Chain A
Amino acid sequence: MEAFQQYLEKVSSKTKVKIEKGRIRWIERYEAIDNIPVDFFDNIYLNKRGDIVVLSKSTAQDIKERISFLEENLYKYQRLTKVLVAACIAELIIILALIGGLL
């Protein structure tokens, strides 16, 4: 019986749990293995490791829409930037011309 008790103690010592007021709480976490597929959101928000990330059709659609929205915005800001750059150059030429006229 003593040997059996030793066995239980040894195996139990590897189990990380907390017992509080009759409740039992596992505090050990399973480590995800790299080659196991993980969910897209688990990968992004819970930082779960995995070489293969799986995402549902709706999530893929959401991501596609988000990318096209961002691309549209990007195009808009690109055009705005070009206008602003042109304005800056024109302003610089005017300033230079004014300075030249004064001299």
Chain B
Amino acid sequence: MTKNLVMKLGEEIKSRFIIDDKKLTIILYNLLHRRSTLLLRAPRGTGKSTLMLLLLKGIYGDDFVVISGASEVKRGEVLGRLHLPSLEKEGVEKVVWASFVQAEGKGLDEVNRLNPYTTANIYHMLQFGEVWAYGKRQKIGDYTLIANENPHDPTTFAHPPPFYDRFDVTVYMRSLTLSEKFALQEKLEKYDGDIVGSMPQVLDPQTLSEIRREVEEVELDVEIKGYINLLVRDFQACIRNREFSDVKPLALCEGCHFIRDVCSSIRVGPSERAAIVLTQLAKAKTWLDGSVSWEDLLEMALYVMPHRITLTKTRNILSDLRELLNREKAKMRDREGRRQWFILNELTKNFNRGLYNRAREIALEDMVFAEELSKLEGRWIKEGKVKPEESVTYNLGIELS
């Protein structure tokens, strides 16, 4: 029953808005976990605000609050203001919390134009689930935050990467093709030009809360968890500790054994949140469709990664990312072919010289495997089973400290 409501929400949006099915599906999956955040990125006039309003209206009816970076957002007003009568009459500082803080449905229009002060307040809310104003704290419960931005607009503030990292997924939107323009005109005629006003409330906060609880309880298969963690680790791993280096790829990659690997294309890797969000999306898909596959995870990564990584050369973030994900597919096939996890599993149980020699060869092909082997080597070196100079740790210069 509740699944049907989620599907119906998608159908109602689809009947009013031109959007790719895959993007809409990801947006729906992303709504199904607590404190859901979505960022819509698009050039001006491509419908990002409309989509934001359609989603909020479909869940919260008219009970949602949108603040806009384009308008004058006064210092602190987004969160709360002082209750002046209390201050004047009683000399007590009371805070009247803004409706944006109290509403479960939150919209942020043109995030890129929010001033740094407001951004910092919202960042704190997303990070700690609380807001501060005039020395007072307010805890925030569950919410849905949908934001949009056009990063190429003038008057854009360059927000820090950790702020964007708090958004679960980013959906890029584009201008409409010829046939899509005709389709939009038909929709506008059908709803008398009032696409948002005609949008019914399909879900309600209580039902959504119940759905989110059910989704949270979904148990993912350990193999799916493995795929998620491998995918994220492949995008993070750097044998030369890129995270702590002032020199970044490609300069850092000079002479590196893994220069042809995915890692050399990534300047800044994703945070651990990428794995958390992928897990949430995988759970949502399992809840809604009954299953999730490796191919689904690759598709989801297209929305989870773009705002979390910086590539060494970016021509078009989505096509560049798609290329990296295709390389990941081949990498996973190679891993299966090498039976490397079987070998690692055997080695974790017992040291075996023959298997170790094979594992050393595999480590030269796969850095993530090399890291795990390196952890075992530390123990074997102490036990005298392996000489330090023959170890992968020594030969590849792995530092996991």
A residues at B contact (CB < 8 Å): 3, 5-12, 15, 17, 19, 22-24, 26
Contacts and interface: CB of A to CB of B under 8 A. Distances in A.
Given A7-B222, A10-B222, A10-B223, A22 B353 contact: yes
A19 B222 contact: no
B342 interface: yes
B226 A7 contact: yes
Interface in B340-374: 341-346, 348, 352-355, 358
Interface in B188-226: 222-223, 225-226
Contacts of A17: 339, 342
Contacts of A3: 222, 225
Given A24-B354, A24-B355, A8 B339 contact: no
B237 to A, nearest CB: 16
A60 B167 CA distance: 63
A12 B225 contact: no
B332 to A, nearest CB: 11
A12 to B, nearest CB: 4
B339 A15 contact: yes
* 3 closest residue pairs by CB, A with B: A8-B345, A15-B342, A12-B342
A17 B342 CA distance: 9
A15 B346 CA distance: 12
A11 B353 contact: no
Contacts, number: 44
Nearest to A6: B222
Contacts of A9: 345
Interface residues of B, number: 17
Contact of A11 (B342, B348, B352, B354): B342
A50 B339 CA distance: 26
A11 B226 CA distance: 9
Contacts of A15: 339, 341-342
A32 to B, nearest CB: 15
Contacts of A10: 222-223, 226
A24 B358 contact: yes
B354 A22 contact: yes
Nearest to A5: B348
A12 B345 contact: yes
20 contacts: A3-B225, A7-B222, A7-B223, A7-B226, A8-B341, A9-B345, A10-B226, A11-B342, A12-B341, A12-B345, A12-B346, A15-B341, A15-B342, A19-B346, A19-B352, A22-B352, A23-B354, A24-B355, A24-B358, A26-B339
A5 B346 CA distance: 11
Q: Most B CB atoms within 10 A — which of A11, A22, A26?
A: A11
A7 B352 CA distance: 21
Nearest to B358: A24
Q: Most A CB atoms within 10 A — which of B342, B343, B344, B345?
A: B342
Q: Most B CB atoms within 10 A — which of A3, A5, A8?
A: A8
A23 B222 CA distance: 29
A3 B226 CA distance: 9
B42 to A, nearest CB: 38
A26 B118 CA distance: 60
A7 B225 contact: yes
Given A3-B225, A5-B348, A6-B222, 9 more contacts: A7-B225, A7-B226, A11-B345, A12-B342, A15-B339, A22-B354, A22-B355, A24-B343, A24-B355
Contacts of B358: 24
A24 B352 CA distance: 11
Contacts of A8: 341, 344-345, 348
A84 B123 CA distance: 103
Q: Most B CB atoms within 10 A — which of A5, A6, A24?
A: A24
B320 to A, nearest CB: 29
Contacts of A23: 354
Contacts of B355: 22, 24
A53 B258 CA distance: 38
A19 B355 CA distance: 10
A34 to B, nearest CB: 19
Interface string B36-79: 00000000000000000000000000000000000000000000
A9 B345 CA distance: 7
A24 B222 CA distance: 26
Contacts of A12: 341-342, 345-346
A5 B345 CA distance: 8
Nearest to B347: A8
A51 B16 CA distance: 48
A23 B346 CA distance: 12
Contacts of A26: 339
